[in-house]
Structures are given as structure tokens and as C-alpha cells.
Structure 1
């Protein structure tokens, strides 16, 4: 490994042909040079790229690094001369303490391991309903639209208390502002529609609370505007990541037949399989933090006001932390991945995501023991790397009838 400080000239986004599960080559090469690299940001700003597991984890836990939206620079978007507004009320992922904790604290009790396990039966019902529909329709099907998206969509709608009759149009708007390919005009329209709907939903819950997380929060001191922002964060975090993990995870298993066979042979492997797929795929690829003061990281001084890009997908492939990191191994013992983040912003709904994936993967493989790709692997349509969450546009699968 070279001791010289490496520089990455632009933010790497392109994965190598035939390697849809691996990080871009430039990111892997940067990690090989060392855990931290220089990376110029748009507008001529100095920036840093952190690719090593230990350094990514340490920055995420360091209060000297901020998550505040208004402090962020970006590698490809020039904000020179722009006044970046703070995060809207309730959108606590882009805030620091104490504002962050004010929003997160009332939610913590809603997403405990115990409460999520109680949801398992309902997740099993939702999964079975969609598998029934797949079986009735017969092969081939697009697993993204038939299975991967609707299961977490129904779960998050039920958690937020979205009425059944609204779910179709609601999910359509969500898809548009999360798929990474929507035009700017349609993106703004979809985002506005979701914001408007959530605002109306909060008002409806005030008038007639039901058994859901949003209604549970009515006893807090959060305003309607803040509740709308919290609902948007729960929606964004609870739907898109899980949907793409279900699709991309199935694709990865189908491309690794030995691992697929091991999971079929040992259903008790499901929990460990979920953790390994989260590590191996890392669909939420990056995070950004801005130094509030001069901070030494990996022997380098990150100056106050400088933004660093944290590469989760290379941290989760760091050979200094994981044995054979580029290998999918469902029996892997060296855990502790960063796919859910770390520190005060660690994913609030991670236990729910684990329940959904464990149930869904197990049920899918049990129902269709001959499940396989319906097209050559290279024809499977992946999301563009510009999407915040990596994943799939379609996954055609078939099985023996």
C-alpha cells in the first residue's frame, strides 16, 4: 500500500461492466492507496473522501462533524454564491443535536427490536399476499414491481396510517421522486404532491387518530409542520432502501448459486444472510459530514468548514476489517457493517428493515424453489449510479410451474 496521499479527481459513480454489486473501481483503488484521499468538490472547494471502515465509523461518531444541510458542499453540484437553507422542520437527518434528538427521541420507542418483532406476523401476511398474486399471475414477473416495492410500501403506509384507498397514488409519487431518473419538473411535482399529502394526513390524524406511528406522535410537542417532516423522513428511509435491498439482494443470491443453496438448506441462516447482503450491497452508498473545527483524521487535518464524503460501500469492503470483503458469504463471522450508518444518525428503522428482509427473502425462496432469472444477467436493468439509493429498475424472474 502506498504511503503517499491519494487524490480522486472526481466523484466516482460508474461500476465496472459485469460487476453490478461492487463499488466503482476508482473507489476501490482509492481505498487501496489508504483510508483517506483528497477529492476536489465543485466550485473549487477542498474536499475529502474517506473509504476506510475505521475512519468512516469514527467520523460518524464524532460531534465535531456536522450533518447540517446548510453547511454542506457537494462534489458535483456547485453551491458557490448560493445561500443553502437549513433542513425543513422535522427532517432531522440533516440536523445536529439538540435539534436532531428533539425529533428522534419521541420515535425511538416506536422502533424497538421487540415492537418490530411483534410486526413480524403482519409482514408475513403482506408478503404472502404478494407471493399469492405472483403465483396466480404466473411467470415471468418483474420482481421489483410485483414484490420488492409493494411489500415495504404497504408496511410504511400502515405505519404512517395512510388510508388504503390512497396508497396507489401515494406510492406512484414516491417512486417518481426516488428513482434517480425523473426529470426535474416531474421530480418537483412528485415531491410537492407527497409533501401536500403528508400535510393533509397530519391534519386528518389530529381530527381522528388511528393506531399508527404518526398518531402516536400527536402527544409530543411537535407542530403539524414538524410532523409532516418527520413523516417524510420515515417514508424516505423506510421504503426505498428496503425495496432496493429486496430486489438487489435477490439478484445477488441468484448470481451466487452456492450461497442461495446454503440459504435454502438452512432457513436459520436468514438473519445472518440479511446482515451479509446489507454489507455486500450497501445500497445507501454515501454520507456527507462537514467539520465544525479543524479535526485530524487519519493523519490529515480536515479544516473547519470542509465537507467529507464517507463511502459506506468501500468501508463495508475494507480488507482490514472484513476477510475476503468482495466475497458474498452468508456464514460470515466478521460483522459490524456500516450499511445502517453509525452514531446518532444510525438508521432508526433498521430493526423493521431486518424483519422485512428476513421474512421476504425466506418466503420468496420457499414459495418458488426453482426461482431464476428470466433474462441474461447483463440485461437486468439497474438504477443509475446518480440515484441516492442504488438498486434495480426491473428484475425479470421465472420459475417452474
Structure 2
């Protein structure tokens, strides 16, 4: 029995020890969890405190920036000038009005309203100048108001000068100084306020750079094209108000004066453009290939290259009628040189004529060429011209069939080209009507 009891006591003791161990472990676990929660709460509080401090610093910086912006705005040159002017005006009124009141009241108390009327008249006229500037009234209104300001302020200044020059208890120099000081302070207020208003008007009327450029362009355009400007003004005055803009009137006036649709272009400029385009096409055309070996000229006994035999408008050589009419000696199987055609109406895409190298090309004379020395061109009959025009324009469209195009294609005059155009159009119209009748049948 005793052994059983001892075993049970030991088992109970072991169970109690195990329970104490478990209780200690659970307590330790709870302590660790409480410590972890406390650490987390402390970290959150510390983070919140840092965030609050950062927000406070940002708010203080924002308030400092706002105060600096308000201070900069308050101390801007414009604000200082305006407020300083008002302060000077108030100081001027505080210095001049009491002297006038004392002067008139010393004469008689009944004259008390006079200083208020005299001083107030100057300020009312000054405000009238500002009102005239705001409403953009004519200039003579402003100058009349300014004259009234000068009269009222001068009268008030003379009264204050007399009052200061007769102040009792002062020496003569002090009385003179007081008189001039009161007169100056009386004129100072209206003068400073008028200068402020004048500066504000000039600042408001100062145009931006784009407006200045537009004004300069309009002035130059009217000076360079006076007749066009006069016609444009007449068109604007004749049209209903707002129905015609200045630019539209200028375009119409330019078209009336010069005949050109685009402003800036004139008939002379169009002619120059056509000549420049022709020179450009001539310069872009391929040059004729020079001969490999220079041939000996029959005149002068010197060797000349084929390029020297071409006509040169820059260095013309006058020929006598006998020289120009002299027959060209025959040359056997020699290379050929390229010379310009002798036709009067030469198109840019014309093909140069080919002559033997030994032959001397007739050069353009500097003076009037005699009739006997001129190259005679075979005359074509109207039927030949019509046949050539019909062949050249066989694949042309009706829109391309113009007198100028036909003239360049067959190398004829403008009058004959117009006749050919009408004949070709009539033939095409007749052919079209025949074709339409055949289709309808």
C-alpha cells in the first residue's frame, strides 16, 4: 500500500510540476504577446507623431509662403506706387485744408464752407480726369478738366501762402518758408494724383508686341501702296458697316488696281516670273555634246571648237549683207555642230538645228539686219497648219486644246493659233454629234 501511495504521490507531484510548467509557458506567452502589442502601439504612435510633425512643418512652410506672397504683392512697385500716392494725397489734404479753414474762419465764421469748396473743387476735377480716362472721352475734355484743376489748386495755394506768410510769432524768413510750404503741399496732392492717373492710362494703353507688329505692318502697307489703300478705304466707306472686313476690302482693291488675284503680285512680277521659269527650264535642259576634235575655221585660219560656233547673245558679231548671204562651203563627212534655230518664236523645248562644223553659223547682228540678209522661212498654207495642228493635238483632251498650247506646238502666231483652236473644236464637236446620233440610232 505504501508503495502505491508513493507512486500516486509522485505522479501527482509530476502532474503539478507539469501544470506549473504549462502555466509558466502560457504566462510567458501572454507576456510576449502583450509586449508585442505594446511595441506595435508605441511604433504606431511614434509614426503618427512623425507624420503630425511633418504636417505641422508643411503647414508652417505653406503659411510662410503665403505671407511672403502677400508681402511681395503688397510691396510690388504698382501697389507701393498706388498706396504711396494715396498717402501723399492724404498728407497734402491734412496740411492744406486746416490752413485754409483757419484763414477763412479768422476772417468770419460764415466763410467756413469756402475752404471745403475750393479744396473740394480741385479734387472733384481731378476725379473727373480719371473718369474721362476710364470712359475714353475726347482729349479736349481731359484738358479742360486739367485746366480747372490747375486753377482751383493755384487759388488754394495762394490762400495758404498768404496765411503762412502772416503767421504771428515768426520771423520774416520763417513766415516765407511757412507760406511756400503750405502752397507747395496744396499743389502736391492734385499734382501727384494727376501723375498717377497719367501713368495708369499709359500703362493700360501700352500695346503688346503683336499689336505693335500689326500696327507697323499696316503703316508700311499703306505707305508702300497708297493707291490701293485709297481704293480700300472707299470700298469700306461704301459698304454697310460690318459687311466688309478691311482685309477683304484690301484684296478687292488690289485686284482692281493691279488685276492680280493675290495681294503682292503685279503684272510686272508675273512677267518676271514667266521669264525666270523659262530661264530655269533652259538651264535644266541637257547641253549638246561637244565635238571630240576642234575643226579649223575657214575664216581667220584658227581652230575653233563646235561650241564656239553656237550663237552667243552675250557677244554678238555684226555681219555685212554680203557675208551673211555668202554660200557655205561644202564639207565632206565632218562632224556636225549644234546651233540655235533661226525662227523668231523659239520655244524652250525646241530642237537645235544641225550644221556642218565647217559651216559658219549666222550670228545675231547688233543693229538692224537688212531684209536681204534675213533668213527666209517657208510660209505654210492654212491647210498645212491645220493638218499639223490636227496631228499634234490628236491625243489632247478638250481642256488642253487652247490657243497658247497650239501656238507652241506648231510654232505659229497667236491669231492663227486661235483660228486653229476654233477649227479643231468645231471638228471635235461635229465628230461627237455624229457619234451620238449613231449611238441613238
TM-score surpassing 0.5?
A: no
Which structure is higher in RCO with an 8 Å CA cutoff and minimum separation 6? 1
Structure in which a larger fraction of residues adopt helix: 2
Which of the two has higher C-alpha Rg? Answer: 2
Give the TM-score range, shorter chain: under 0.3
